[in-house]
Amino acid sequence: MLSGSLTLDAVASHFPERTVTVEERAAELGLNAAQTHLFRRIQGLDRMRIDPEMDLYDLLLPAAREALAAADPRSVRYLIYVHAAQEIGPSTVDPAREIRDALGLRDATAFALTHQSCAGGLSAIDTAGALLQADGDPSATALIVAGEKNYSRGTQVIYNACLLAEGAAACLVSWNGPGDPVRSFVARTHGEHSRPQRVQGAVANRIPEDRATLFGSVMKEAAARAGCDLADIQTVISTNSNIVFLGDMTQYMEFRPGMVFMDNVPRYSHCLAADPFINYVTLRDEKRLEPGRHQLFWTVGVGMTLAAMVITHVGGDR
Q: How high is the mean pLDDT of the chain?
A: 89
Chain centroid to Cα 242, Å, comes to: 14
Cβ-proximal residues to 107 (8 Å cutoff; 6+ apart), any chain: 74, 76, 77
CA dihedral 65, 59, 116, 94 (to 10 degrees): -80
Pairing mode of beta strands 180-189, 6-14: antiparallel
Cis peptide before 304 (omega within 30 of 0): yes
Tens digit of each residue's pLDDT (9 = 90 or more) over 172-217:
999 999 999 999 999 887 655 555 444 444 454 554 455 567 778 8
Ordered DSSP codes for 243-302? HHHHHHHHHHHTPPTT-B--THHHHH-B-GGGHHHHHHHHHHHTT-SPTT-EEEEEEEET
Reported pTM? 0.93
Tens digit of each residue's pLDDT (9 = 90 or more) over 46-68:
999 999 999 999 999 999 999 99
State the angle between helix axes of 56-68 and 95-102 in degrees (0 to 180), rounded to the nearest 10: 50
